[in-house]
A and B are shown apart, each in its own frame.
Chain A
């Protein structure tokens, strides 16, 4: 198939970028979207031009690294999938495809389609963990957890930190990500001890990073490759308000 690409090209974090048009005449519909980019980069390299920088790692939908805003949607037209799982058969011969980086104040563009997502790491560092002494693993049956709770925590833990929720949200809000990271621990007994500080600190860090507020448009959940549910956002609100009202932390 023949594809026209309009790709965001930007030299570095300090320069302005622009959309640049490329023609690809020999795209197989069995290629993944990233493989199509490999073909583009191969031809650019052969012509002595600089290849398009884009993030990718596992290429099997589990690492969350691949981030492209394709034809107006994060990770392209499919739902419940990352860019590396998108195949060219989702497009038609002769299509023009616009590819942009995630757009958010908190995710500055480093180069071309690559953005800096360290803001997510800093949010995790602020409280997205359980403090336990490491050592030999405890017996799994020692702590009883009902199946439904375990499943719900597992659903939240499926978040791969890709940032599509931020990219999709009209407010560039990170609520779905933070909600998943708070939920996965808050509903398990191991996460109880720190659940108040966790909600307080992670929300404070989320705000400090400059993400927007949540308007409940639901765009995040629709575009999330792991279909993280909005239930978790309501739980985060509950956790945060409960913590603010009842924690011992009077200094904010």
Chain B
């Protein structure tokens, strides 16, 4: 098994772990966004609560959610190891450097963007995931069946202006992270091809870095406006 540990601890192997966990997180984003679009239904939260019930009771989804938690932890840990190693590779910095002449800001600041994302994930999970699993969530009843009313928790959280602003900022961070990260993840796996790379780049930039974060950012804004009877 020496070859496995040796491969995974090489610089390329570590990047493969980053890439696989990162791309898995990207696939999760699609599901997460599609589900949360229920918030826009304007049905007092019924569709959203039914969806959260499904997500917390379906055995397949519950298994995948553990893969997801592991991915976040491994991605963050590997990010830390790689960033430390990369910084150590240049112990003496340049007195004068112009990196903006040759590379994009997001590509050089994946660690900072990722740190923002990690803080966001912690806050986000404390507000919703923790409340859902371990907190006291009010109940709602649809057709004689009891549901945890996570929609009520969403309304309280997104009723706070500072919380909405925090969300929007973090969605900008994820946009930048994926603007570079999505296509980079494919390069790391060696997947580069004249026919497919332009499609991957297009998807990464427009779908993952713009449309998805914009849709996520619209949720707290919409709920805030609704809670405060602005719309």
Contact = CB atoms under 8 A, between A and B. Distances in A.
A13 interface: no
Nearest to B193: A234
B98 interface: yes
Contact of A207 (B11, B16, B104): B11
B188 A216 contact: yes
Given A106-B89, A172-B89, A217-B108, A241 B180 contact: no
Interface in B79-107: 82, 85-86, 88-99, 101-104, 107
Given A170-B86, A218-B107, A72 B96 contact: yes
B108 A170 contact: yes
Given A72-B98, A250-B2, A204 B89 contact: no
Nearest to B100: A72
A100 B95 contact: yes
Given A171-B90, A214-B11, A241-B189, A222 B103 contact: yes
Contacts of B59: none
Interface residues of B, number: 43
Nearest to A99: B96
Q: State the main secondary structure of chain A at its contact with B.
A: mixed
Interface residues of A, number: 52
A217 B102 CA distance: 8
A86 B157 CA distance: 59
B99 A219 contact: yes
B15 A235 contact: no
Interface in A213-231: 213-219, 222-223, 230-231
Contacts of A241: 12, 16, 189-190
B148 interface: no
B184 A216 contact: yes
Given A100-B95, A173-B89, A203-B10, A214 B2 contact: no
A252 B94 contact: no
Interface of A: 6, 8, 19, 69, 71-73, 77, 98, 100, 103-106, 168, 170-173, 203-204, 206-207, 210-219, 222-223, 230-231, 233-242, 244, 249-252
B187 interface: yes
Given A215-B107, A244-B3, A250-B2, 7 more contacts: A69-B94, A72-B94, A72-B97, A104-B89, A212-B86, A216-B107, A218-B107
B27 interface: no
Given A168-B102, A213-B86, A215-B184, A19 B95 contact: yes
Given A98-B96, A100-B96, A234-B191, A213 B107 contact: no
Given A98-B96, A216-B107, A216-B180, A237 B11 contact: no
Interface in B172-231: 180, 183-184, 187-192
Nearest to B93: A103
B136 interface: no
Contacts of B85: 212-213
Given A241-B12, A249-B3, A217 B107 contact: yes
A165 B105 CA distance: 18
A106 B86 CA distance: 12
A244 to B, nearest CB: 4
B39 interface: no
B2 A251 contact: yes
B89 A171 contact: yes
Contacts of B13: 244
B63 interface: no
Contacts of B108: 170, 215, 217
Contacts of A231: 192
B76 interface: no
Contacts of B102: 73, 168, 217-219, 222-223
Contacts of A203: 10-12
Interface string B2-29: 1101110011111110000000000000
Contacts of A100: 94-96
